[in-house]
Amino acid sequence: MSEDNIVRKIAVIFVTDVVGFSKLMEKNEEQTLRSFRACKEILDDLFEEHGGRIFNTAGDSVLAEFQSAVSAVICASEFQKLIKQRNASLDNEDAQMRFRIGINMGDVIVEDQNLYGDGVNVAARLEALAQPDSVCLSKGVHDFVSQKVELNFTDIGDQQVKNTMVRAYDMMLDGTSERAKNAPEMKADAKGALSKPPTIAVLPFVNQSNDPDQDYFADGISEDIIANLSSWKTFPVIARNTSFTYKDSSLKSSMIAQEMGARYLVTGSIRKGGNKVRITANLIDAIDDQQIWSQRWDRPLDDIFEVQDEVSQSVAVLIVPALKGQEHSRGSLSKKTTDLSAWDLYLQALSLFNDFEPKYPEIASKCESAVALDPNFCEAYTLQCRSLTNWIFDQREPGKRSEHEQLFHRLSQKAYDLNPNNPEAVIMLSRSFNLRGDYEKRVEFAELALELNPSNSAANQDLAMAITSFGRYDEALSYLQKAIDLDPSGRSKYEGFLPLIYLGMKDAENAKRWVTLFRDKSGHSRWYGWLAAVEAHLGNMEEAEKSLAVFLEKRPEIKTLRDYEKVVPTLAKDYVMSGLEKAGMPA
């Protein structure tokens, strides 16, 4: 992703889709598409009048941006009014359409013709909350427009949708039902779940050192505590990717916990100076938003690993009193290294890995420097493997793929040999077997990684990917959902595997839906090839031929089925190849 093409800004986001679109398509595809195009023309005219800019359309959904919240709200109300008039003029009920609309104002990322970010995600969730024929908007939009438009709104309270709390308002149009204000349900939900293992989230510890460049140190400590807690296997622990999205957040602890689906939060601070370190840790019960434990450690830096273990031990026993007195299996919790300089280099590499755009050469350099100081530093080998995973498939260096794969095999085997109880090392070895085409070993080690740490979102994802090679698709979907539950912010990453699963299942309708979604998001060539195959299987030959033409234009080195066979995913090989043959790809 080129930074030159990326713009961050505050925008008003408008999201809409058709109520019951799939059922309408099942009844009469041609009539439904004609009706949708007619409604889309109405919407396009209103966007032009009120300054809306369309970014994405996928199936029946439309995503647009406005510069003005007032313009977006007026546009939405007029659209619903005009659609209602259109429906009233039609005798054929199958030709009628109803829409939901969500409007939010927030931070977005604009990259070329794509729009991303939390502002977009919340708008989509508000759209899902909206009543048919109505509009649902966020508190920020409501507060801005309520005194500037002659429209009525109803506060429906805090709504939890897909791990996110949203304060929402209904626009009271003709036919909109007045919904009771939703009282926060955190207490009831949490108390009802007390019989289940409580979920824990560790927020990034605050760097209280005078040097802001020491953020990587505080982040590394936080990540280690997450790993330590996960290894108890007694309770779910929210993944680092999700908990770190709340770094520097001003939200109340109870709200953060509610958004992540966590019962307890671990918070803290770190002050590092010379060879001394002060760590303060707190445990917060999100039900009552009360701190139930706090402790401070002033130790030499050499004792940092013991302090991390003490934090994890104290938290685990407080949350599950039955664990008190139990000897925790050390497994992956052994000291990472006896060389603090090596450990510091590892933390710097970890910080680079967690950047928005991780740079493999820099990460590799720091990991290699760390193992030069301590050749038995398992985590450094593992981290280099994790970074190398993406680099193997980087199209900027296609000629080096074999070299990168061989390096990956060596590093993953070394990490596993050093610590076969480290779940990250086991995951890397599982991926190594996948690259070699040994799928039975791939599954064996993926299952072992999950057994070592059931709260590891990557382990759940990897097992899902591994078992698809043996047709275990329903189980794979279950493991992917568990990964999403543990790492809600990584939803799009995990959902990126759904197109392949549905292709493997030969489920053309779901495959088309997910392939189309990702094609509209990224425009990568693979989506056009897969969509051509799916459309052909569905009998939509005109659409199949269009997608195939785009694919062949984007991939000039692929001219025949024989060429494509070299790159087609094994999981869905037969289904995709037969679809492309139907679409007209030469043999």
**Residue-range domain boundaries for the chain:** 3-182, 200-329, 340-495, 501-583
Fold classified for 340-495: 1.25.40
- Cα separation, 341 vs 548, in Å, equals 54
The two structure tokens encoding residue 376: 């038995």
Residues 6+ apart with CB under 8 A from 348: 216, 366
Residues 56 and 520 sit within 8 Å (Cβ to Cβ): yes
pLDDT mean across residues, the chain: 82
Higher pLDDT, 398 or 177: 177
pLDDT of residue 334: 46
Fold classified for 200-329: Rossmann fold (3.40.50)
Q: How far is CA 61 from CA 64, 141, 537, 551, in A?
A: 10, 21, 24, 24
- Cα separation, 488 vs 482, in Å, equals 10
| Percent of the chain whose predicted confidence (pLDDT) is above 70 | 86
User: Looking at the predicted structure, is the pLDDT value of residue 252 above 90?
Assistant: no
How far, rounded to the nearest angstrom, does the alpha carbon of residue 283 sit from its chain's CA centroid?
A: 26
User: Looking at the predicted structure, is the pLDDT value of residue 575 above 60?
Assistant: yes
Tally helices (H) and strands (E) across the chain.
25, 13
213 burial level (CB within 10 Å; 0-12, 13-18, 19+): exposed
pLDDT of residue 8: 74
pLDDT of residue 353: 83
DSSP 249: -
Token pair 């109520």 in the structure block, residue: 19
Query: Tens digit of pLDDT for each residue in 72-86?
Result: 999 999 999 999 999
pLDDT of residue 427: 94
Residues 6+ apart with CB under 8 A from 102: 14, 15, 16, 123, 124, 125, 126, 127, 128, 129, 130, 135, 136, 137
Give the mean pLDDT of 479-499: 83
Range with the poorest average pLDDT among 226-230, 533-537, 566-570: 226-230
Kind of pairing, strands 61-66 and 114-116?
unpaired
User: Looking at the predicted structure, is the pLDDT value of residue 322 above 70?
Assistant: no
pLDDT of residue 395: 56
Query: Tens digit of pLDDT for each residue in 212-246?
Result: 777 888 888 888 788 777 766 667 888 887 888 88
User: Looking at the predicted structure, is the pLDDT value of residue 192 above 70?
Assistant: no
At 58, the pLDDT band (50, 70, 90 cuts) reads low
Output the CA angle 105-108-109, nearest 5 degrees.
165
pLDDT of residue 67: 87
- Cα separation, 298 vs 276, in Å, equals 7
Q: How far is CA 514 from CA 61, 115, 529, 530, in A?
A: 13, 18, 13, 11
pLDDT of residue 76: 95
- Cα separation, 465 vs 443, in Å, equals 9
User: Looking at the predicted structure, is the pLDDT value of residue 255 above 60?
Assistant: yes
Token pair 């966590």 in the structure block, residue: 262
pLDDT of residue 357: 66
- Cα separation, 488 vs 492, in Å, equals 9
Please give the CATH architecture assigned to the domain spanning 3-182. 2-Layer Sandwich (3.30)
Q: Is 325 left (phi over 0), alpha (psi -120 to 50) or beta?
A: left
Most confident of 177-191, 353-367, 437-451: 437-451
- Cα separation, 445 vs 441, in Å, equals 6
pLDDT of residue 173: 87
User: Looking at the predicted structure, is the pLDDT value of residue 306 above 80?
Assistant: no
The two structure tokens encoding residue 474: 């329903």
Most confident of 45-59, 292-306, 428-442: 428-442
User: Looking at the predicted structure, is the pLDDT value of residue 331 above 50?
Assistant: no
Range with the poorest average pLDDT among 128-132, 181-185, 351-355, 572-576: 181-185
Q: How far is CA 67 from CA 7, 45, 51, 62, in A?
A: 15, 17, 7, 17
pLDDT of residue 275: 81
Higher pLDDT, 211 or 395: 211
